[in-house]
Amino acid sequence: MNILDMILQSQGGGAVQQLGNQFGLPPGQAESALSALLPMVAAGLQRNMGSQGGLDSLIGALAGGTHERYLEDPGVLADAASTQDGNGILGHIFGSKDVSRQVAQRASQQTGIDVGILKKMLPLVAALVMGGLSKQRSGLPLPGGPSIGGLGGGGGLLDMLTPVLDSNRDGSALDDILGMAGRFLGKRSS
């Protein structure tokens, strides 16, 4: 199951309902916001994993955290601590608040949802992504050790992220990730 489906289906759609209630959005708009933000968070996570020590850092965060609570009890998304945790996750994934603002702006253009709402929602989406990955962490390789399920195949991290990142549905997310990175780097340099 890919991570978007996991989040949408967890607790009978509880995360979507919680986000909608929290930000004054009907369920369809909350799902649209999640569907627009999640691929950009996943792409940032994918890029971060490819950096020096990025994969070990992610696995350590998944092993040491309790991120699955965001899927198991979506009501905790309303807590200020959840936003703080999400902002910390975004800091690791994107590296700067400017990138987070650009992600929210792009999602706003895709969905028509106010950019201010999406900026506030973004940390919670990051927390939900970590929650989904945490629930599937048995498919991740151990730091410095053998793979348990591996990164690709067998329910690993790439299996969860690929359907979300593969926007043109060609079975490979690589071209889509490179396109996102190119657009991001192009906007960033201007």
- Transcribe the chain into DSSP letters: --HHHHHHHGGGTHHHHHHHHHHT--HHHHHHHHHHHHHHHHHHHHHHHTSTTHHHHHHHHHHH--TTHHHH-GGGGGSHHHHHHHHHHHHHHHSSHHHHHHHHHHHHHHH---HHHHHHHHHHHHHHHHHHHHHTGGGSPPTTS--SS-SSSTT-HHHHHHHHH-TT-SS-SHHHHHHHHHHHHHHHH-
pLDDT at 174 over 80: no
pLDDT at 117 over 90: yes
Q: Which domain holds residue 101?
A: 3-189
pLDDT at 151 over 80: no
pLDDT at 29 over 50: yes
The mean pLDDT of 142-159, rounded to a whole number, is 40
pLDDT at 135: 78
pLDDT at 146: 33
pLDDT at 80 over 90: yes
Mean pLDDT of the chain: 76
pLDDT at 67: 85
pLDDT at 111 over 90: yes
pLDDT at 40 over 60: yes
The mean pLDDT of 16-31, rounded to a whole number, is 95
What gap in Å lies between CA 59 and CA 51, rounded to an integer?
13
pLDDT at 19: 95
How many domains are there within the chain?
A: 1
**What pLDDT digit, counting tens, does each position of 52-79 carry?**
777 677 777 777 778 889 989 999 999 9
More confident residue, 20 or 181: 20
